[in-house]
């Protein structure tokens, strides 16, 4: 049991990171911290995906010219390509969210989600 866990420790780390990110996102009132939590959560998923494509002792998946060499193992290139797209998406969401947060800060003068809710209910 312990041996299998150690062998697959990257999955364990991914799950831990996911939970940390999710927890940060839900429990912190500070909007910037929420965005940080979101990024940690995304990173956890990227790690899990990339780790799934890793082959023990595998090389970078670039085929040299000439006949294929026997006995050489390559890592799976598909997860890496996908996660590159995933990172771009996560960056766009982060940039957009930070832009909105700047705008909210100009309206309310605070980054605290609870304070914003209180200010809003007082105004209504």
Residue 100: HSE in the Cβ half-sphere, 13 Å Cα cutoff: 9
103 touching another protein, by CB under 8 A: yes
Distance CA 92, CA 38 (A): 12
Distance CA 84, CA 80 (A): 6
79 touching another protein, by CB under 8 A: yes
Question: Least distance (Å) from another protein to the CB of residue 86?
Answer: 6
85 touching another protein, by CB under 8 A: yes
User: In which residue are the tokens 């150690």 written?
Assistant: 6
Binding interface with another protein (CB under 8 A) = 18, 21-22, 25, 31, 34-35, 38, 41-42, 45, 48-49, 52, 78-79, 82, 85-86, 89, 92-93, 96-97, 100-101, 103-104, 107-108, 116, 120
């Amino acid at each position: 049991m312990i041996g299998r866990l150690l062998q697959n420790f990257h999955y364990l780390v991914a799950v831990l990171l996911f939970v940390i990110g999710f927890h940060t996102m839900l429990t912190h009132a500070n909007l910037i911290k929420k965005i940080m939590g979101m990024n940690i959560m995304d990173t956890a998923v990227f790690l899990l995906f990339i780790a799934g494509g890793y082959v023990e002792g595998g090389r970078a998946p670039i085929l040299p010219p000439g006949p294929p060499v026997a006995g050489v193992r390559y890592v799976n290139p598909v997860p890496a390509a996908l996660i590159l797209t995933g990172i771009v998406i996560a960056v766009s969401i982060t940039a957009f969210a930070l832009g909105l947060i700047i705008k909210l800060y100009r309206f309310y003068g605070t980054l605290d989600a609870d304070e914003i809710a209180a200010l809003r209910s007082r105004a209504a």
